[in-house]
Amino acid sequence: MNGAAFAVNLAATAGAALAVLLAALAVGLRTGRHRTVDVAWGLAFTAVALTGYGLSAGYGDDGRRLLATVLTAVWGVRLSVHIALRARGTGEDPRYERMLARKPPGRARTLYAVRTVYLLQAALVWFVSLPVQAAQYLPDPPGPLAWAGTAVWAVGLFFEAVGDRQLTRFKADPANRGRIMDRGLWRYTRHPNYFGDACVWWGLFLLAADAPIGWAFVASPLLMTWLLAFGSGKPLLERRMSSGRPGWDAYAARTSGFVPLPPRR
């Protein structure tokens, strides 16, 4: 890996992530809905991957560069489109309402949103995507570990996309109003989309891990998995579900919390 070129890349990809999140800020301020940052999340990863692909030309193996970029972009665009469609016709996300209610309306609330929502997410995008950026600068063609990572990525995308689709169709049926989704993939894990997301990022990490330098970025998928399973993902959602959804306790008792497993009796 060319260290000087990679350092320039790190600065450029940080700028790309920041640009996407600042564009989301402009939309959020205009519409009064900061949930637009969730749509920008996947697009920011795509922008980072595309920036790295352009800058790594002549430094990294073309096949590995293209593989890392395409896998990241497919995941990021699908996620952003799904979230945008899900948010149509809805108000502010309750998470952001509660967070921003800590500050009075006006400049103080806007600056608080910039710090705690947009700048934080830009930093997370840049950090979590480090394995993708590293993979784009590796000079050797993809090895067995990289192809294994592609398979892990595919499993993750399946769980995430299919789980999202199943939940969308379940919610669209008025007969399911107030009921717990416990069908399809949701029968085996309470969060197939979060589990899939974690697999996607472990798969992308493996694209870099078949070179020794790639293991320097193992903290990136570890952080993403922690956020999904113990941070802002699963715990916040389950807290809201357990307080207002009949049947949740029975569903949680028989269904794995993260890794898909056969339902317990």
Mean pLDDT throughout 127-151? 96
Predicted pLDDT at 97: 73
Encode 89-113: b = buried (16+ Cβ within 10 Å), e = exposed.
Answer: eeebbebbeebbeeeeeeeeebeeb
Predicted pLDDT at 161: 96
Predicted pLDDT at 206: 97
Q: Pinpoint the alpha helices (H) of the chain.
A: 3-31, 36-55, 62-87, 94-100, 107-113, 120-128, 130-136, 144-172, 192-209, 219-229, 234-244, 248-254
Name the pTM for this structure. Answer: 0.92
Per residue in 10-31, pLDDT (tens digit) is 999 999 999 999 999 998 888 8
Smallest Cα–Cα separation from 199: which of 127, 121, 113, 260? Answer: 260
Per residue in 44-99, pLDDT (tens digit) is 999 999 999 999 999 999 999 999 999 999 999 999 999 999 888 777 777 777 77
Please report how the helices 144-172 and 62-87 are oriented relative to each other, as an axis angle in degrees rounded to 10: 10
Q: What is the CA radius of gyration of the chain?
A: 19
The answer to whether the CB of 61 falls within 8 A of the CB of 134 is: no
The answer to whether the CB of 68 falls within 8 A of the CB of 150 is: no
Predicted pLDDT at 82: 94
The answer to whether residue 33 scores a pLDDT higher than 90 is: no
Predicted pLDDT at 115: 84
Report residue 230 as tokens: 């113990």
Smallest Cα–Cα separation from 118: which of 224, 7, 27? Answer: 27
Instruction: For residues 57 and 149, give the distance between their C-alpha atoms in angstroms, rounded to a whole number.
Output: 22
pLDDT confidence tier of residue 221, bands split at 50, 70 and 90 = very high
The answer to whether the CB of 23 falls within 8 A of the CB of 37 is: no
